[in-house]
Chain A
Amino acid sequence: MTSIARDTSWPEISFEERIGTAEFRIHERAHIVVDGDTCRGCSTRECVVACPANLFVPTSDGGILFNYENCFECGTCYMVCNKEGAISWSYPEGGFGIVFHRT
């Protein structure tokens, strides 16, 4: 790979700051449910790489920690998942979830 000085003259932001730029109206009911047992046996873990909101986090004991709250409702996770029934996906209650403004 060619090594050329990359220009990064803009403020670097953490993932928390990045996701903090989007508005989420959080409902108490989780609209996505992840089956921890199925995920424990999964070695490929496509969701961990692909979820743009980084909601699938591997845990030290071999499981997957999932949080529905900052979800873009895009559908990537259930589409890339190759484990039948691991991800139960639906939309949040009306009026809740992601609210885009300048997209």
Chain B
Amino acid sequence: MSDADVIVVGAGPAGSCAAIAAARAGRRVILIERGPFPGSKNMYGGVVYPRILDELVPRWWETAPIQRWVVRRSTMVLSETGALTVDYRSNAWGEPPYNGATAYRPDFDEWLSRQAVAAGAQLVTSTTVTGLLRDASGRINGVRTDRPDGDLSASMVIACDGVNSFLAKEAGLYTATDPANFTLGVKETLALPKHVIDERFGVRDDQGVDIEILGGTSGVNGGGFVYTNLDTIALGAVLKLPKLAAQKKRPEEIIATLKAHPAIAPLIEGAEVKEYSAHVIPEAGYSMMPTMVTDGMVVAGDAAALCLAAGIWLEGVNFAMASGMYAGEVAAAAVARNDVSAKSLTAYTDKLNATFVLRDHKKLRKVPGLVLSDRVQQKYPAFVTSVVERVFRVDNPQPKPGLRRIVREERKRAGIKLSQLIRDGWTGLRGFG
């Protein structure tokens, strides 16, 4: 008899949800985590949207270790010295059933893994999976770990081993990996007293703020973020890998420049760096995704590039939790009918296609490329902010120049062709669905 029905590799949001779903369906599940505890290898740039947990963990908000509920969602465009912010506030987001939350991933992921254990999954930490096991026909039927006598057999494997997914690569599910599809996220967790954060960001109690930033990354394509935890502020940058390497600016220097921006500096004044962290993000969305299933294995979460980096929408944990849950359900059913062939497991791909997981990604498949394009990154922030600067600058005794003239002049100054602007605007409108 095999060691388990289903082996789940990686106890992040995808893996724990896969384990919950498969264990609830009555399967024997081993959930393997290479860190000393789930979440210990994980960081992110922001906010978790746990609505999808309604199915797996009813009333999750009563026990989930969140920091603050996001009631202010800001999108900020930075030029060298200017800042244009679109800021939406809804205190209703700070009440049940809630919307987005800030949370420390080591806390959140550990909590989610405990739900998997409660559902009957066996959690094995401090264990690195080093490869896949296959039967004579080539079907994946277990994993090799770095433990002595560390081979574990199962009917099938769910690979939730993160952005580097050596399992998906070993299984041949990625044809190639282009560094241009990835960004590096670097972050500082900055300590400030809670009342100071409340005052600076205009919130109280467990209300929080999420600021996403275009521009301000020292000419390296990417973006920035600032968000509030209870008594820390998370501030960081997301940097397109080839551009980062080509522009000769180190990640911590880019963060330092962002921190010094006149619109950011007052928010973090006096804050001490409590923790510095980094992680790679699969940024390109639908165009970079692997084949999702093979004989004896499916892929979920970041391992399947299920991270949505679509400008105004930046999500990942929810896509991980949903894909993991569907993977767990499909795996449980496939094991029950004793058919874990790729053909049988396409039920997983069908489920992703039928739900927000791939519907959002397909709808927005052009957006990640547009958002990280040179024009959006290098030219539009200065263009947009200088237009607003002139609109609101009163140059009496000069009369107002008129909006059309300002736009035309600033567009030319920024070196943007009208045809390009129209084309990008059209791509944006269509791309955002």
* Pairwise interchain contact A79-B276, C-beta atoms closer than 8 A: no
Total count of chain B residues near the partner, CB < 8 A: 64
* Pairwise interchain contact B104-A102, C-beta atoms closer than 8 A: yes
Interface residue? B182 (CB, 8 A): yes
Using Cβ atoms and an 8 Å threshold, which residues of chain B touch A15? 252
Interface residue? B274 (CB, 8 A): yes
* Bound Cα distance A65, B281 (Å): 26
Interface residue? A9 (CB, 8 A): yes
Using Cβ atoms and an 8 Å threshold, which residues of chain B touch A94? 34, 125-128, 145-147
Task: Give how many A-B residue pairs fall within 8 Å (CB-CB).
Answer: 152
* Pairwise interchain contact B262-A4, C-beta atoms closer than 8 A: yes
* Pairwise interchain contact A102-B106, C-beta atoms closer than 8 A: yes
* Bound Cα distance A93, B189 (Å): 27
Kindly provide the distance from the CB of B279 to the nearest chain A CB, expressed in whole angstroms.
Answer: 5
Q: In A44-103, which residues have CB < 8 Å from any B CB?
A: 44, 46-47, 49-50, 52-54, 72-76, 79-80, 90-95, 97-103
Known: A4-B81, A50-B244, A94-B147. A103 touches B42 (CB 8 A): yes
* Pairwise interchain contact B271-A21, C-beta atoms closer than 8 A: no
Give the one of A10, A21, A52, A75 with max B CB within 10 A. A52
Specify the chain A residue showing the minimal Cβ separation from B161. A91
Known: A6-B260, A49-B244, A103-B104. A95 touches B36 (CB 8 A): yes
Give the one of A9, A44, A90, A95 with max B CB within 10 A. A95
Specify the chain B residue showing the minimal Cβ separation from A92. B128
* Bound Cα distance A69, B266 (Å): 35
Known: A93-B146, A101-B106. A10 touches B40 (CB 8 A): no
Known: A94-B34, A100-B40. A52 touches B278 (CB 8 A): yes
Kindly provide the distance from the CB of B253 to the nearest chain A CB, expressed in whole angstroms.
Answer: 10
Interface string of B81-124 (1 = CB under 8 A from A): 10000000000000000000000111000000000000000000
Known: A49-B249, A79-B280. A25 touches B36 (CB 8 A): yes
Known: A54-B250, A79-B241. A91 touches B34 (CB 8 A): yes
* Pairwise interchain contact A103-B105, C-beta atoms closer than 8 A: yes
* Pairwise interchain contact B260-A80, C-beta atoms closer than 8 A: no
* Pairwise interchain contact A2-B232, C-beta atoms closer than 8 A: no
Specify the chain B residue showing the minimal Cβ separation from A79. B179
Kindly provide the distance from the CB of B9 to the nearest chain A CB, expressed in whole angstroms.
Answer: 11
* Pairwise interchain contact B273-A21, C-beta atoms closer than 8 A: yes
Interface string of A26-57 (1 = CB under 8 A from B): 00000000000000000010110110111000
* Bound Cα distance A97, B234 (Å): 22
* Pairwise interchain contact B280-A74, C-beta atoms closer than 8 A: yes
* Pairwise interchain contact B260-A100, C-beta atoms closer than 8 A: no
Specify the chain A residue showing the minimal Cβ separation from B260. A6
* Bound Cα distance A53, B44 (Å): 17
* Pairwise interchain contact A99-B104, C-beta atoms closer than 8 A: no
Interface string of A7-20 (1 = CB under 8 A from B): 11111010101110
Kindly provide the distance from the CB of B107 to the nearest chain A CB, expressed in whole angstroms.
Answer: 8
Neighbour of A52 across the interface among B163, B177, B252, CB < 8 A: B252
Interface residue? B364 (CB, 8 A): no
Known: A1-B80, A7-B266, A15-B252. A100 touches B41 (CB 8 A): yes
Chain A residues in contact with chain B, CB under 8 A?
1-2, 4, 6-11, 13, 15, 17-19, 21-22, 25, 44, 46-47, 49-50, 52-54, 72-76, 79-80, 90-95, 97-103
Smallest CB-CB A-B distances: 4 pairs = A95-B126, A103-B43, A46-B245, A52-B278
Q: A99-B41, A103-B187 are in contact. List 17 more A-B contacts (CB 8 A).
A: A6-B262, A7-B269, A18-B273, A21-B274, A22-B277, A49-B249, A74-B184, A75-B280, A79-B241, A91-B128, A93-B146, A94-B146, A99-B40, A100-B41, A102-B189, A103-B43, A103-B277
